[in-house]
Amino acid sequence: MTQPGLFEDASEKPLAFRMRPRTLDEILGQEHLLAPGKPLRTLIDRDRLPPLILWGPPGTGKTTLALAVARATRQRFVPFSAVTAGVPELRKQIEAAREALRLGQRTILFIDEIHRFNKAQQDALLPHVEDGTVTLIGATTENPSFEVNPALRSRARTFVLRSLEPDHVRTILVRALGDQERGLGKPPDAVPEAVMDLLVDASGGDARVALASLEAVVQAGIKTPESARDLLGRREQPYDKAGESHFDVISAFIKSIRGSDPDAAIYWLARMLEGGEDPLFIARRLVIAAAEDVGNAAPMALLLATSAFQAVHQIGMPEARIPLAQATTYLATAPKSNAAYLAIDRALADVRDRPPCAVPLHLRNAPTTFMKTLGYGREYRYPHDFPGAFEPTQAYLPEGVPRHSYYDPTDRGSEDAIARRLVHWRALREAVARDASAPPAAGEDGSAL
């Protein structure tokens, strides 16, 4: 038996409910899944539907798609909310599905917001999904890789729904405006083009938001974008500080800085601040970016980023946005080098792969007389006693550890001067090494001079 209200007359329901597509062909924006010949459409048309996880942003048609699948395959459709129902109710629905199956009727168990089921609840589904008692369709706005148990995920096919394009949203609004049966039954000019443009833009690709806004505008008799904006209020940016958007947006932010695009970096900074992200989290990532991606090409970057972190800590929002913006734009426009970052990782790899090596005696500190008698610090050459504060014969690596160029500076920004100094010092060391390895000059009697 189908849940009451899902297929019955819905004339008193909200516009978004009334205009829900009834067939697969009416669903817009998911052609990559539902166009003829596409994998999901083929599975549905052949009535060979496996368990499904539908992942996508709000308002992209996850519930609508599940309902259309139920109609296309003539299965019972049992909606189940992971927010309001638990395992006892789930067991009742499983028993009802098992009884229906005995009578020859298959059941689609549609679990909305399946990511809100805990591990035990998700595990409770497994045997009934495996034995075919129910055909599971789970819907989620969160990345299934993180929010759905691997055991359940491995038994289901995951399909990704996309945000609707502006043309899709506009088509949905025009249909709803003129539809005499389920829509508003209004002429095309009932909503001016400029207001329609605003509704499309304000929807963010969410059909539910778009239709709710259209209904409100028509009911209020709105004729100008300004009035529509006042009616609809401020649009909230979708951002989940504990979910995938948190990681996606900070990733885009850091990559924009690394890619030297200050405008993109500022945009992602604004997205995070508007979404309520912890400004100290952003500041910490700026400190990391300063060392990892700018490095010695612009040594002030780390100082500025650290100062921005301190400023954010001291003043808080909303003023903290200003030092964050300063640090962001500085890092994005600074010359870039990851040479220091690569150097430590190369050195760590060598340290892990080699047995421990003793510190050479001449590099050890000798705070006591006894340590001096053991040779600690003996033959250490103080670099400042030599020209250019550089003594080319002194070794600083342990015996047996070959010299590697862990640090390979670029020719960008301040690192260009560092690179030139290293080339000069390396040449001095090599010259000393050549002289030391050359055979001694011979005297007239053949003895060494």
Instruction: Label residue 204 by pLDDT band (50, 70, 90).
Output: confident
Which pLDDT score is estimated for 417? 92
Which pLDDT score is estimated for 287? 97
Question: No. of H helices and E strands in the chain?
Answer: 20, 5
- For residues 362-385, give the mean pLDDT: 90
Which pLDDT score is estimated for 238? 62
- Residue 296, pLDDT > 60, answer yes
Which pLDDT score is estimated for 242? 56
CA distance 51 to 156: 5
Domains 166-232 and 244-333 share a fold: no
CATH superfamily of 15-160: P-loop containing nucleotide triphosphate hydrolases (3.40.50.300)
What's the whole-number average pLDDT of the chain? 88
From start to end of 150-231, where are the E strands? 157-160
Backbone CA torsion sign across 164, 168, 174, 177 = negative
Q: Which of 339 and 143 is assigned the larger pLDDT?
A: 339
Instruction: Label residue 446 by pLDDT band (50, 70, 90).
Output: very low
- For residues 308-315, give the mean pLDDT: 95
Which pLDDT score is estimated for 395? 87
- Residue 151, pLDDT > 80, answer yes
Which pLDDT score is estimated for 237? 61
CB 245, CB 274: distance < 8 Å: no
- Residue 254, pLDDT > 60, answer yes
| Number of neighbouring beta carbons within 10 Å of residue 409 | 24
Instruction: Label residue 4 by pLDDT band (50, 70, 90).
Output: very low
CB 183, CB 284: distance < 8 Å: no
Question: What class is the 166-232 domain?
Answer: mainly alpha
Query: What is the model's pTM?
Result: 0.66
Task: Please count the CA atoms within 13 angstroms of the CA of 44 that sit on its side-chain side.
Answer: 24
Which pLDDT score is estimated for 344? 93
- Residue 18, pLDDT > 80, answer yes
Which pLDDT score is estimated for 246? 79
- For residues 256-284, give the mean pLDDT: 93
Cα–Cα separations (whole angstroms), residue 353 to 221, 399, 401, 402, 404: 74, 16, 12, 13, 14
Which pLDDT score is estimated for 177? 94
Helix (H) or strand (E) holding 271: helix 262-274
- Residue 261, pLDDT > 90, answer yes
> What is the percentage of the chain residues whose pLDDT exceeds 90?
57
State whether CATH 1.10.357.10 applies to domain 244-333. no
Q: Which of 98-112, 234-248, 310-324 bottoms out in mean pLDDT, i.e. has the lowest?
A: 234-248
Which pLDDT score is estimated for 445? 40
Which pLDDT score is estimated for 448? 35
- 36-79 pLDDT tens trace: 999 899 999 988 889 999 999 888 999 999 999 999 988 999 98
Domain segments of the chain: what residues?
15-160, 166-232, 244-333, 361-436
CB 401, CB 357: distance < 8 Å: yes
